[in-house]
Structures are given as structure tokens and as C-alpha cells.
């Protein structure tokens, strides 16, 4: 059964076609254009009385913005043998080795992934999540003493829109892609979320707590603003 509230169009950019989804929303009062970094597509939300063709015309009129968003996500970085990636802030080359004993060896300039079932990227993916979970847990334990806050659960997210979140149950969620960022950037996001458990806002007191944990936080904010899309560009096949 077709979804009558959605219709897909495409905008040609060089040799690529950028998908644009026009979606009718009964709550929408105006046109709204957003970009999906995961699907690398545009989304135009329109009022129900507006036609799909008018929605696409709006997308075409704003195609420069769409192309700009698309270009910021290029090129996509595929996790594969021989790929050069930044991991924990350092440039390293991925090396796949066929070996009966599966595992990952982290070096200064390389990451060696061993497996004999041609599932190296899966081994690496599991290892990354385990490593960032352990790193996050260590930082949380340290910051908990300073803030006098106990974290109930630590979760990993695959969000393409935020780096961390928290809730009133003292759970925090950290984007696993921060494993590729410098360790101090991960620490900043953890500090940000944990400080929210004391101050549920972005008041002066909140930022004083963050600054207490991360004295030079501005440099971490700048890094994320400049390199955040790099983290989103990393994909596992």
C-alpha cells in the first residue's frame, strides 16, 4: 500500500541524484526543509493542502542549500581494508589480516583487525563500541565524584543529530562515533550531559560545572563544529 502522505523526488547534482522526500504533515503551517545526514537526503514538510509538486518546487528553489548540506557530507568514509581514518583523534590505517584468532590491535599509525571469516568490519565495529563504553565508564566514574552524581545507565546511540543526551533517571547516552574524535572531545560531551543532571538548563551555573570538569571546553566545541560531519561520514558496510 502506497504512503499517500509522502512522495519522493530527485534533484540532480553533478553525477549524483539527491533524494528529496516531500511529506504532508497536518501539524505543518509552513514549508520546512531539513537534511537527513544518515540517508543523505532532503525532507520537505508541507501543510496537507499543499500539493507534492509545489513542495518539490520549493525544494528546487532551495536546491543550493540542499547541495551545500550534501557536499558537507562528502566523501563518505567506508570502513574497509586500507582505509585511512582518524581514530581517537589520530590518523591510522586499517589493516585486515586473515587469522584464526579474531581481534583488534591498536597502534600509533594503524589498526590491525584479525579475522578468518571475512567479517573484519564487524569485529572492528564490536570492538569500537566496547572500547568507547569502557572509556565513557572511566570518565563517568571520575566526574561522578566531582559532581556528586551517580549515573544509573550508560547507553550508546547512533544518532545523526546529537552527540549526547540524558534523562531524569540519571541515564546518559553517548554517540558511539565519538570514538573517532580526540579523547578530550568525548570527555567534554560526557561532562556536558552529566552537568545537566545537576543543572537542567544552560544557565551560568551549568557552564560553571562544565568548566570545572573541562577547563578549556571552547576548543572542544570548536573541534566538534569543524569536524562533526567527518564523524557522521564514517560508514560500515
For residue 187, the tally of other CB atoms under 10 A from its CB is 22
**Of 36, 54, 72, which closes a domain?**
72
CA gap 11, 206 in Å, rounded: 44
pLDDT of residue 1: 43
Residue 164 domain-assigned (yes or no): yes
Residue 178 domain-assigned (yes or no): yes
Query: Helices in the chain by DSSP H: which ranges?
Result: 52-61, 63-72, 120-147, 183-196, 204-213, 217-233
CA gap 60, 210 in Å, rounded: 43
pLDDT of residue 132: 98
CA gap 206, 203 in Å, rounded: 5
pLDDT of residue 15: 85
Which tens digits make up the pLDDT trace of 113-162? 999 888 999 999 999 999 999 999 999 999 999 999 999 999 999 999 99
Average pLDDT estimate for 106-114: 98
- Does the pLDDT of residue 230 top 90, yes or no? yes
Looking at the structure, tell me whether residues 58 and 133 fall in a common domain: no
Looking at the structure, tell me whether residues 200 and 138 fall in a common domain: yes
Q: Please state the domain count of the chain.
A: 2
Percentage of the chain beyond pLDDT 90 is 95
Average pLDDT estimate for 63-92: 97
- Does the pLDDT of residue 82 top 80, yes or no? yes
pLDDT of residue 193: 98
Residue 225 domain-assigned (yes or no): yes
Looking at the structure, tell me whether residues 232 and 128 fall in a common domain: yes
Average pLDDT estimate for 202-207: 97
Average pLDDT, the chain: 96
CATH number at residue 161: 3.30.2010.10
- Which residue is associated with the grid cell 520537505? 44
Which tens digits make up the pLDDT trace of 24-57? 999 999 999 999 999 999 999 999 999 999 999 9
What contacts 31, CB < 8 A, 6 or more positions away? 44, 45, 46, 50, 55, 58
pLDDT of residue 117: 85
Cell readout for 95 is 589493516
Which domain does 185 fall in, by range? 124-236
pLDDT top residue among 237 and 149: 149
Amino acid at each position: 500500500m502506497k504512503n499517500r502522505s509522502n512522495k519522493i523526488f530527485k534533484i540532480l547534482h553533478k553525477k549524483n541524484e539527491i533524494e528529496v522526500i516531500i511529506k504532508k504533515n497536518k501539524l505543518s503551517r509552513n514549508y520546512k526543509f531539513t537534511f537527513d545526514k544518515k540517508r543523505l537526503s532532503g525532507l520537505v514538510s508541507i501543510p496537507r493542502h499543499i500539493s507534492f509538486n509545489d513542495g518539490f518546487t520549493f525544494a528546487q528553489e532551495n536546491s543550493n542549500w540542499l547541495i551545500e548540506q550534501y557536499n558537507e557530507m562528502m566523501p563518505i568514509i567506508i570502513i574497509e581494508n586500507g582505509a585511512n581514518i582518524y581514530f581517537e583523534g589520530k590518523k591510522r590505517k586499517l589493516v585486515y589480516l586473515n587469522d584464526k584468532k579474531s581481534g583488534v590491535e591498536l597502534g600509533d599509525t594503524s589498526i590491525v583487525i584479525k579475522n578468518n571469516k571475512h567479517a573484519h568490519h564487524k569485529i572492528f565495529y564490536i570492538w569500537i563500541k566496547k572500547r568507547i563504553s569502557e572509556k565513557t565508564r572511566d570518565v563517568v566514574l571520575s566526574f561522578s565524584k566531582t559532581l556528586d552524581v551517580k549515573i544509573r545507565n550508560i547507553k550508546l546511540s547512533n544518532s545523526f543529530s546529537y552527540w549526547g543526551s540524558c534523562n531524569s533517571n540519571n541515564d546518559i547516552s553517548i554517540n558511539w562515533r565519538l570514538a573517532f574524535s580526540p579523547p578530550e572531545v568525548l570527555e567534554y560531551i560526557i561532562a556536558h550531559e552529566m552537568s545537566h543532571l545537576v543543572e537542567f538548563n544552560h544557565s551560568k551555573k551549568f557552564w560553571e560545572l562544565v568548566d570545572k570538569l573541562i577547563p578549556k571546553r571552547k576548543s572542544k566545541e570548536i573541534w566538534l563544529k569543524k569536524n562533526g560531519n567527518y564523524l557522521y561520514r564514517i560508514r560500515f558496510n
